[in-house]
């Protein structure tokens, strides 16, 4: 009796070999773009102490209460698969005293995150993010540079029809007054929306503004906005960011209703959306979190960053790809040995070619010339090298150019030199 096959867990996805080159191109583009701005890559653990996310994201958020993958390890410690990267990067910044280095610490991270959400297009339970953070400066020019870097990356990725919105969420001085005014308004407007909504209004009224529920959007459109409560510091900070963005030629809209779904944000926040993603249209977002490093045990440290969802990014790139973006053949050469002796010779020859930097595969398990050539054709390799008893006796190899449909018999050293020269 055949055993039942095991499939992947709902909400996670295999990235198959034919898809991987697209992911690699985007990751390489991020590394290249961020390096031009002085950012260095950091790789943080996939799981952390649960306390890290409870303290940073907010114990009353949906992420902490409903979406985190939390478990006790064999030692009884509560651990959580990271739902986002900013908290982990802040923890690493504090733990390794990166604040002792001069200047702004610029870091980025690429990898999987985990949230128990309803799977949908562009949103999975294991998803991937590109995350960039700048620590150590209150200068609004840093805010602007982060946004310009993001725009450079998205433009280099070929994305079009994007919209950038920015806002200022206030500081510790002016935001409490706005929160009270908003809470007073929402208490009256949400009486018929159920206890869960009312509880959210009492805990953190600003988070209601992040709701995508159509019934809530009508209320949000009438709600008071934070620009009515900005103090002089917040007005100046936003004005300076806007001036730098205009100077850099970045198009944007100031949206006083824009918020972010996590508790740690303050001052500048921003979001990039696409017209090509439907209702869940956010490509990426970010903002300042000037109190988070201190909350996690470090010195007072202003910081700003953003996160890009790679699944949504690739969804957009996929819709706009052209022939020039198609991946190159994964192989330079494919070896076809005819006979047992030829198989040993082909194995050694493949090793020589690989040492020369070529991408090479060969037919295993024998078979007829016709069947092996079918394998060679399916491999997508530019060149096929056929090695049989006659070629071994003469010290030659039959080299077939699959693109030009041309075949020639060459001394083995000459064939090797030709392939290596083509690689260079």
134: in domain: yes
Is residue 131, in this structure, part of any structural domain at all? yes
Residues 122 and 258 in one domain: yes
Provide the CATH number for the domain around residue 266: 3.30.930.10
Contact between 138 and 118 under an 8 Å Cβ cutoff? The reply is no
From residue 380, alpha-carbon distances to 80, 100, 105, 116, 332 in Å are: 43, 51, 44, 39, 8
Name the domain count of the chain: 2
Residue in 369, 314, 331, 324 with CA at minimum distance from that of residue 124:
314
Calpha distance 131→213 (Å, rounded): 27
Q: Would you say residue 181 lies in a domain? A: no
Report if residue 224 sits inside a domain.
Answer: no
Q: What average pLDDT does range 348-362 have in this prediction?
A: 89
- 37 and 88, same domain (yes or no): yes
260 in any annotated domain:
yes
pLDDT (0 to 100) of residue 60: 65
Residue ending a domain, among 301, 323, 345, is 323
d(CA 14, CA 76): 31
Domain around 414: 333-423
DSSP 348-405: HHHHHHHHTT--EEE--S---HHHHHHHHHHHT-SEEEEE-HHHHHHTEEEEEETTTT
Instruction: Write down the pLDDT at residue 59.
Output: 67
Other beta carbons within 10 Å of 390: 12
Residue 279's pLDDT is 60
316 and 368 share one domain: no
pLDDT in tens, 267-283: 999 999 987 766 667 88
pLDDT greater at residue 2 or residue 363? 363
Residues 417 and 293 grouped into a single domain: no
Average pLDDT over residues 75-80: 95
The confidence score (pLDDT) of residue 246 equals: 95
Q: What is the pLDDT of residues 151-209, one digit of tens each?
A: 999 999 998 889 999 999 988 888 888 888 888 888 888 887 878 788 778 777 887 87
Average pLDDT of span 285-312: 94
Q: Is residue 396 part of a domain?
A: yes
Closest CA to 246 of 167, 148, 154: 148
Q: Do 162 and 310 belong together in one domain? A: yes
Whether 98 contacts 88, CB under 8 Å:
no
Q: Which residue has the tokens 């190899």?
A: 397
Q: Is residue 127 part of a domain?
A: yes
Q: So what's the pLDDT on residue 375?
A: 86
On whether both 40 and 137 belong to a single domain, the answer is: yes
Boundary-marking domain end, from 303, 323, 343 = 323
Same domain, 245 and 348: no
Rounded average pLDDT over 313-334: 66
What per-residue confidence (pLDDT) applies to 106? Answer: 97
Are the C-beta atoms of residues 85 and 43 closer than 8 Å to each other? no
Q: Are residues 166 and 234 in the same domain?
A: yes
- Averaged confidence pLDDT in the chain: 88
Q: Kind and range of the H or E element at 345? A: helix 340-355
pLDDT at residue number 173: 87
Distance spanning both ends of the chain, measured CA to CA:
54
Q: Quick check: is 115 in a domain?
A: yes
Question: Same domain for 316 and 337?
Answer: no
Question: Which of the listed residues 291, 323, 355 is the one where a domain comes to its end?
Answer: 323
Co-location of 348 and 293 in the same domain:
no
């Amino acid at each position: 009796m055949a055993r039942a096959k095991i499939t992947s867990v709902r909400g996670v996805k295999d990235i198959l070999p034919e898809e991987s080159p697209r992911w690699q191109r985007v990751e390489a583009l991020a590394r290249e773009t961020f390096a031009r701005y002085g950012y260095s890559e950091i790789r943080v653990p996939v799981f952390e102490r649960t306390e890290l996310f409870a303290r940073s994201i907010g114990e009353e958020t949906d992420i902490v209460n409903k979406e985190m993958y939390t478990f006790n390890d064999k030692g009884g410690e509560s651990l959580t698969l990271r739902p986002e990267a900013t908290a982990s990067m802040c923890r690493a910044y504090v733990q390794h005293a990166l604040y002792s280095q001069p200047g702004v610490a610029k870091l980025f991270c690429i990898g999987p995150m985990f949230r128990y959400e309803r799977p949908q297009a562009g949103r999975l339970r294991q998803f991937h993010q590109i995350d960039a953070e700048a620590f150590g400066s209150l200068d609004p020019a840093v805010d602007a540079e982060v946004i310009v870097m993001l725009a450079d990356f998205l433009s280099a990725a070929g994305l079009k029809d994007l919209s950038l919105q920015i806002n200022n969420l206030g500081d510790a001085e002016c935001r409490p007054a706005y929160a009270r005014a908003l809470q007073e308004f929402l208490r009256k407007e949400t009486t018929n929306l159920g206890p869960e909504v009312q509880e959210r209004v009492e805990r953190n009224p600003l988070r209601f503004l992040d709701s995508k529920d159509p019934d809530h959007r009508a209320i949000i459109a009438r709600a008071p906005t934070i620009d009515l409560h900005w103090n002089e510091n917040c007005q100046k900070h936003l004005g300076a960011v806007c001036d730098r963005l205009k100077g850099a030629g970045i198009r944007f809209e100031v949206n006083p209703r824009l918020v972010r779904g996590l508790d740690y944000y303050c001052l500048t926040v921003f979001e990039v959306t696409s017209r090509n993603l439907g209702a869940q249209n956010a490509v990426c977002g970010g903002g300042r979190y000037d109190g988070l490093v201190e909350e996690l045990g470090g010195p007072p440290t202003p910081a700003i960053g953003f996160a890009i969802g790679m699944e949504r990014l690739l969804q957009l790139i996929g819709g706009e790809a052209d022939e020039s973006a198609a991946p190159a053949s994964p192989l330079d050469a494919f070896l076809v040995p005819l006979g047992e002796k030829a198989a040993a010779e082909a194995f050694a020859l493949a090793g020589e070619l690989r040492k020369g930097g070529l991408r090479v595969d060969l037919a295993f398990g024998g078979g007829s010339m016709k069947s092996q050539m079918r394998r060679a054709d399916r491999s997508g390799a530019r060149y096929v090298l056929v090695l049989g008893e006659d070629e071994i006796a003469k010290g030659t190899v039959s080299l077939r150019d699959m693109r030009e449909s041309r075949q020639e018999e060459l001394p083995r050293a000459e064939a090797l030199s030709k392939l290596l020269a083509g690689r260079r």
